[in-house]
Every structure is written in structure tokens, then in C-alpha cells.
């Protein structure tokens, strides 16, 4: 098939509580940048996990 891998199925949710003004500003900024809040949070989680796992004996 093509060079792109099929995305993993998204079958779980993470619920967070936050200040409404922060949430609204974040969602609005994501819309201005033509992305979604969920996509950016997933990206943050992946980067955080990559940065903090398999680091050896630091």
C-alpha cells in the first residue's frame, strides 16, 4: 500500500477540568491555527511521553 501508516483507532478518552476562559482561549487559538484542541493535546502527550521514557540512567 502507500507510505502512510493507518492511524491507530482512538478508543479512549481523557477528561480534564480547567478554567473556562483558558479552555475557550485554547480552542480559539487552535481554530485560528487550523488545528483542533484534541489534536494538539494528543501531540503534547506523545511528545511528553517520548521525552520522558527510555532515557537510560539520567
Question: What integer pLDDT is reported at residue 9 of this predicted model?
Answer: 85
- HSE on the CB side for 53, CA within 13 Å? 6
**Domain boundaries, position 42:** 20-48
Position 54 in a domain: no
Tally of domains in the chain: 1
Are residues 36 and 30 in contact, defined by beta-carbon separation less than 8 angstroms?
yes
Position 13 in a domain: no
pTM of the complete model: 0.74
Q: Rg (Cα) of the chain, in Å, rounded?
A: 15
Q: Per residue in 1-56, pLDDT tens?
A: 555 666 788 899 999 999 999 999 999 999 999 999 999 999 999 999 999 997 65
Q: Which three cell numbers stand for residue 31?
A: 481554530
Position 39 in a domain: yes
Position 6 in a domain: no
Position 34 in a domain: yes
Question: What integer pLDDT is reported at residue 56 of this predicted model?
Answer: 55
Position 26 in a domain: yes
Amino acid at each position: 500500500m502507500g507510505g502512510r501508516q493507518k492511524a491507530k483507532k482512538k478508543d479512549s478518552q481523557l477528561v480534564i477540568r480547567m478554567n473556562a476562559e483558558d479552555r475557550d482561549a485554547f480552542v480559539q487559538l487552535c481554530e485560528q491555527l487550523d488545528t483542533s484542541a484534541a489534536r494538539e493535546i494528543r501531540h503534547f502527550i506523545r511528545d511528553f511521553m517520548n521525552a520522558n521514557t527510555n532515557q537510560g540512567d539520567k
